[in-house]
Amino acid sequence: MRYLPLTQADRREMLGVIGAKSVDDLFRDVPERARRDGFVDLPRRQGELEVERALTKMAAKNVSADSVPFFIGGGAYRHHVPSVVDHLIQRSEFLTSYTPYQPEITQGTLQYLFEFQTQVALLTGMDVANASMYDGSTACAEAVLMAHRVTKRKKAVLSGTLHPHYRAVVENLCEAGGDPVEALAPALPGKTEDIIARIADDTSCVVVQTPTYFGELIDLRAIADAAHAKGALLIAVVPEIVSLGLVTPPGEMGADIVVGEGQSIGNGLNFGGPYVGLFATRTKYVRQMPGRLCGQTVDAEGKRGFVLTLSTREQHIRREKATSNICTNSGLCALAFTIHLSLLGEDGFKRLARINHANAVKLGSALSGVAGVELLNDAFFNEFTIRLPKSATTVVDALADKGVLGGLPASRLIPGNATLDNLLIVASTEINTDQDRADFVAALKEVL
């Protein structure tokens, strides 16, 4: 087998040194009835060519986003990733190293994590960020638990326009700890959600997403003030991090914790994972943060260096008293993020955001020019919601048959709510061309 260097001669010689008669001898602690003699009932080994052939065939059964006019978002966004990114993250020294527990020989990883933390803090307008979480949804749930620790309260209030998957993940984790969650009903763009009325003396945090599941931008200032007046924290959720190139960051609107999905920068769609969860907060809450943190220090010669720090929060030190059981970050995805953002820089990042917004605005006006279609949003970034004259699921299905992947039916993630049946959530990024838009509009006219 090409990945296994030992030869039969090696194995014999090594067994001799060990003093074992056979490899079976080394497995003698396994209870006899659990030892398997033959091979498991699965195919035998294959060469590269055969594996490649089989998997390529499987992959070809999917409609990839690069092959059609593509307008789906819903918490994952298709952006162009410069070729430098994928080259660099495949360097052996990044790809095949472990968590940087030995800082003397992992300064490469540690330094990019420090740069990443700084970038995330800058984007969100917060003081500090951690070295990343699994993804946006788990970052959101961990933020709620952190708010519980900070406020010593147990009840979270969730906006009805939080991504339904995020809501489910928060509910699941809170339920695990026996903590109550109050989730509002989804308010459509243009309708006001009175979340402030739900903030009570036992509220630990309010969780508000912007842009929302429906793409609407939300003013967090009044919510932050109301939360703080009651001693609660405001957790802002940013599902599309590119928006922060153009939109006021939650940190400037009073958020105490900002979580987000960083996939848009440097990372592909990957059918939902791996992604990179962003987590930022105020300095005063740092010791209640979950996840890895990289900090600056000096070495024995006084030279600047970086280490994982404040690990007394973490499971490998604190065990059952840890702030979280998390034992991983999204290291390589965070690296892709930080490289892409370095390439963009201040000017490039802002311009990328403007292009996204411009494309979405143009698409919004083109679609709302189709008879029976109504654009619902007042303020949006690169995603918005339209009302169709018929079921959005049916329309999306028919569009797919015409070779256009034209958005996410709102009801797919919130089933059983009749007011959502005709709503379609549409995203547009820098990948979309004028031709894509024209194809979408033409196809939509045909299927309506």
Partner 1 sequence: MSGMNNQGRPTAAGEASSSSFETYTGNKGLRLEEPLIFELDNPGATGVDLDEPEGYEPKLGAFERKARIGLPGMSEPDVMRHYVRLSRKNYSIDAGLYPLGSCTMKHNPRLNEKMARLPGFADVLPLQPQKTLQGALELMDTLAHWLKELTGMPAVAMSPKAGAHGELCGMMAIRAALVARGEGDKRTRILVPESAHGTNPATAALLQYKVDAIPATADGRVDLAAFKAKLGPDVAAIMLTNPNTCGLFERDIIEIADAVHEAGAYFYCDGANFNAIVGRVRPGDLGVDAMHINLHKTFSTPHGGGGPGAGPVVLSEALAPFAPLPYVVHGADGFRLVETEGEAKADGSHPFGRMVAFHGQMGMFVRAMAYMMSHGSDGLRQVAEDAVLNANYVLASLKDHLSAPFEGPCMHEALFDDRFLKGTGVETLDFAKAMIDEGYHPMTMYFPLVVHGALLIEPTETESKHTLDQFIGTLKHLAQAAKGNDKSRFTGAPHFAPRHRLDETLAARNPVLRWQAETPKQAAE
Residues 45-84 that bind partner 1 (CB under 8 A): 45-48, 50-52, 54-56, 58-67, 70, 72-76, 78, 82, 84
Judge if the upstream peptide bond of residue 211 is cis by omega within 30 degrees of 0.
Answer: yes
The structure tokens listed for 394 are 């049916």
The verdict on 88 binding partner 1 (CB under 8 A) reads: yes
Q: How many CA atoms lie within 13 A of 178 on its CB side?
A: 0
**Which secondary-structure segment (H or E) carries 426?**
strand 423-427
DSSP state of 303: -
Question: In the range 6-25, which residues lie near partner 1 by CB under 8 A?
Answer: 6, 10-11, 13-15, 17-20, 23, 25
The 3-state DSSP class for residue 156 equals: strand
- Minimum distance of partner 1 from residue 389's CB (angstroms): 20
Task: Write the single-letter amino acid at 426.
Answer: V
Q: Which of 21, 35, 390, 445 binds partner 1 (CB under 8 A)?
A: 35
Q: Are 381 and 354 in contact (CB under 8 A)?
A: no
The verdict on 439 binding partner 1 (CB under 8 A) reads: no
Distance CA 426, CA 69 (A): 12
Q: Which of 148, 153, 155, 357 binds partner 1 (CB under 8 A)?
A: 357
The verdict on 415 binding partner 1 (CB under 8 A) reads: yes
The verdict on 381 binding partner 1 (CB under 8 A) reads: yes
Site stretch for partner 1 (CB under 8 A), options 152-160, 180-188, 229-237, 336-344: 336-344
Q: Which of 339, 424, 441, 444 binds partner 1 (CB under 8 A)?
A: 339
Q: Are 221 and 194 in contact (CB under 8 A)?
A: no
Q: Which of 200, 378, 390, 419 binds partner 1 (CB under 8 A)?
A: 378
Distance CA 85, CA 88 (A): 5
The structure tokens listed for 296 are 């600056």
- Minimum distance of partner 1 from residue 7's CB (angstroms): 8
The 3-state DSSP class for residue 158 equals: strand
| Identity of the residue, 345 or 389, whose beta carbon is nearer to partner 1 in the bound complex | 345
Distance CA 80, CA 278 (A): 20
Q: Which of 69, 79, 121, 156 binds partner 1 (CB under 8 A)?
A: 121
Site stretch for partner 1 (CB under 8 A), options 176-184, 191-199, 224-232, 437-445: 176-184
Number of residues near partner 1 (by CB under 8 A): 213
The verdict on 152 binding partner 1 (CB under 8 A) reads: no
The verdict on 362 binding partner 1 (CB under 8 A) reads: yes
The verdict on 117 binding partner 1 (CB under 8 A) reads: yes
The structure tokens listed for 358 are 């411009």
The structure tokens listed for 137 are 């949804």
The verdict on 358 binding partner 1 (CB under 8 A) reads: yes
- Minimum distance of partner 1 from residue 240's CB (angstroms): 13
Distance CA 441, CA 419 (A): 24
The verdict on 182 binding partner 1 (CB under 8 A) reads: no
The verdict on 102 binding partner 1 (CB under 8 A) reads: yes
Burial grade of 378 (CB within 10 A; 0-12, 13-18, 19 or more): exposed
Best CA proximity match to 324, nearest among 161, 138, 172, 129 = 138
The verdict on 418 binding partner 1 (CB under 8 A) reads: no
| Identity of the residue, 6 or 200, whose beta carbon is nearer to partner 1 in the bound complex | 6
Report, in angstroms and rounded to the nearest whole number, the Rg of the chain calculated over CA atoms.
25
| Identity of the residue, 84 or 200, whose beta carbon is nearer to partner 1 in the bound complex | 84
Q: Are 395 and 411 in contact (CB under 8 A)?
A: no
The verdict on 39 binding partner 1 (CB under 8 A) reads: yes
Residue 254 pairs with which residues in a beta bridge?
none
Q: Which of 159, 203, 212, 359 binds partner 1 (CB under 8 A)?
A: 359
Question: In the range 214-233, which residues lie near partner 1 by CB under 8 A?
Answer: 217, 219
Best CA proximity match to 262, nearest among 163, 333, 356, 348 = 333
Residues near 355 by beta carbon (within 8 Å), at least 6 away in sequence: 430
Q: Show the site string, 263-302: x = touches partner 1 by CB under 8 A, - = not.
A: -----xxxxxxx-x---------x-----xxxxxxxxxxx
The verdict on 158 binding partner 1 (CB under 8 A) reads: no
The verdict on 254 binding partner 1 (CB under 8 A) reads: no
Question: In the range 193-212, which residues lie near partner 1 by CB under 8 A?
Answer: none
